[in-house]
Chain A
Amino acid sequence: MKKTMYEKIWDSHFVHEESGQAPLLYVDRHLMHEVTSPQAFEGLRNSNRKVRNVHSILATMDHCVPTKNRDLPIADPIAKKQIETMAENCEENGLNLYDMKSPDNGVIHIVVPEHGFVHPGMVVVCGDSHTATHGAFGALAFGIGTSEVEHVMATQTLPQKKSKTMIIRVDGELSDACTAKDIALAIIGKTGTAGGTGYVFEFAGDAVKSLSMEGRMTLCNMAIEAGARAGMVAPDEKTYEFLKGKEFAPSEEYWEQAVAHWGSMASDEGAEFDAELVLDAAEISPQVTWGTSPEQVVAVNDVVPSPESFESEIQQQACEGALNYMGLTAGTKMTDIKIDYVFVGSCTNGRIEDFRAAANVAKGTQVAEGVTAIAVPGSYHVKEQAEEEGLDKIFTEAGWEWREPGCSMCLAMNGDELKDKERCASTSNRNFEGRQGKGGRTHLVSPAMAAAAAAAGHFVDISK
């Protein structure tokens, strides 16, 4: 029988199924950060259980860490305690932790690929919805809750219900002005934020194959914003090339064997999916969200939609509420919307390629008057690489702030946040109400679009 990649990973990780119970799936890699793990460790301690496989875990500190004055103690006492608790829990259980002072520190979904910790065909979990990122390697990677974090630590398995599969084919060639971020937003614009619920996506087609590993990570990262359990891309030469020589990649001795296994995990030609979505890459323009949900998105050369332009009453109400919160009037050209803030970073767009793209646009410009622009590398390795290439200079000369790594303003837990009614061009993944600070207004864009907005003070159609 012809099988999809998802089915192959499922079958190869199936442990046991007790009649009437959900099947148990084996977990190869467990990623951790400070926000969703403390209560899991507490649960483990309270029930006298141990971590089953300490080598399956890689932990970092990213959500609460400051992106400036890193040498000073964390000012927020509750955040400080959370960071200290993470260190204690990892120490107590002998886990590999990239703490705040480590040269390997950074956002979990950035540092994990940097060290080659996720391979094709794996089952990967993390108490974080953007775990979907690692599907870029042809792994089944999904976010879990804290109770499940505890479950995986204790048992190395999770009771799982099988998902449906959807193939999303992006054919043709993407224009130079567009990136994986624009593909992701264009897809969510079609599916809606619940369109993927119950599904695992497999992204395919020429435009997806042409993406770099970084681009594939951006695309898979956003699968959760369409409601999907996970997103994945079939592994290929680019995947193997990316992994080769990395710390947790297979050694020379096992390399051939591993690559043969990885290659066998791709969906069989003609395998059946439960649903299919096809997009033409050539029709995708640079995207900007206008509302408070990632599905509320248009092309930058479009206008803010009106509630009447939506079919369902629910969408009309949602539009009205979003326009109200965002302080926007229907019919306004997206390029006429003025911004106060620019954020380039996050697990969606905090990789070296993202800073190259933003710097390429920022080069020789000046941040518009009244606008604050911050560039927050996803990890110390990204920061180092960018500095080696002189990107930090390009940003600072253009009037940007060049920060230390962390999740920063993607979810504004660390003090980097918008003030009430401030409007931000952001490369992050969620434009929910209050996500970047209470009353803050978020527009999701690609790094190049963010940099263009920083210089102009409003959104710019970079395809022109």
Chain B
Amino acid sequence: MKAYTKHESIAALMNRSNVDTDQIIPKQFLKKVERSGFGVHLFHDWRYNEDTSDNLDFELNKPAFKGSKILVVGDNFGCGSSREHAPWAIEDYGFNTIISTSYADIFYNNCFKNGILPIVATKAQLDALMAEIEANEGVQFTIDLENQDVITPAGNGFKFEIDPFRKENLSKGLDDIGLTLKHEEKISQYEDKHKTLYPWLWA
């Protein structure tokens, strides 16, 4: 996993709520057995016309948002299916930051496993960011994970909250499994206890 570092990037606006993972990556693209290459299918049904040309009405197809790393979206982003193909597609497309008021639980967890920072803003903070993008499409925001800061040219930035463990892993690009396996002995001890308490599960 790539380490997450401070960056300044175009912020793309998608003013939609309850965007579900079926929209982020429709099911016809879930059959691959690899992790890579999902970016071209991100938001497929909204993004492309019937004849596979770009749907120019779709927000992310605006030239001003090209090369954006920051996705600013409405409430409850990533609801529905647990498919990690959703963050894989988002990351592969080029986003490493999402800003919304709320995320579906599984999606939120999945982001951190893929180097994506999902920032939780208040309604007022999000509204201000959205207004700033609308007034100045192509505007660049700075995301500083170390200091937990969103910085914008018009001064609509704010400090965000993040779990310290997740922050550490994200900023260093650490593998969770490796960290857990440091506690292998504790897991074995637990399993010994488990075997005594619930012998029918080990019979």
Contact = CB atoms under 8 A, between A and B. Distances in A.
Interface of A: 15-16, 18, 20-22, 24, 26, 28, 35-36, 38-39, 42, 47, 49, 52, 63-64, 76, 78-79, 81-82, 85, 119, 127-129, 142-148, 150-151, 154-157, 159, 161, 193-194, 197-198, 227, 229, 250-251, 253-254, 257-258, 261, 293, 314, 317-318, 411-413, 430, 432-435, 438
Nearest to A154: B177
Given A159-B180, A197-B76, A24 B187 contact: yes
A225 to B, nearest CB: 8
B26 A251 contact: no
A15 B187 contact: yes
Given A197-B102, A229-B105, A432-B80, A78 B203 contact: no
Contacts of A119: 201
B34 A20 contact: no
Nearest to A37: B33
A250 B32 CA distance: 38
Given A144-B106, A193-B76, A227-B104, A434 B186 contact: no
Nearest to B110: A145
Of A21, A24, A38, A151, which is in contact with the most chain B CB atoms at under 10 Å from its CB? A21
Interface string B163-195: 111001000000111011101101100110010
A16 B104 CA distance: 26
Given A36-B84, A148-B113, A155 B106 contact: no
A143 B27 contact: no
Nearest to A199: B105
Interface residues of B, number: 57
B53 interface: no
7 contacts: A38-B33, A52-B187, A129-B106, A227-B79, A229-B105, A318-B17, A412-B27
A74 to B, nearest CB: 10
Contact of A147 (B30, B32, B102, B176): B176
Q: What's the dominant secondary structure at chain A's contact region?
A: loop
Contacts, number: 179
Given A24-B183, A129-B82, A78 B32 contact: yes
B186 to A, nearest CB: 4
B20 A145 contact: no
Nearest to A81: B33
A197 B76 CA distance: 9
B109 interface: yes
B96 to A, nearest CB: 16
Contact of A432 (B20, B75, B164): B20
B59 interface: no
Contacts of B83: 35-36, 145
A258 B197 CA distance: 10
Contact of B31 (A78, A154, A159, A251): A78
Q: 8 smallest A-B Cβ distances: which pairs?
A: A147-B113, A250-B200, A254-B200, A145-B110, A38-B33, A145-B84, A143-B82, A146-B84
Contacts of B87: 145
B113 A145 contact: yes
B40 to A, nearest CB: 15
A145 B82 contact: yes
Given A145-B82, A438-B45, A82 B31 contact: yes
Contact of B186 (A16, A47, A229, A433): A16
A185 to B, nearest CB: 16
A157 B180 contact: yes
Contacts of B164: 20
B22 A194 contact: no
B186 A24 contact: yes
B199 interface: yes
B76 A194 contact: yes
Contacts of A430: 20, 22, 80-81
Interface string B110-135: 10011000000000000000000000
Contacts of B180: 24, 151, 154-155, 157, 159
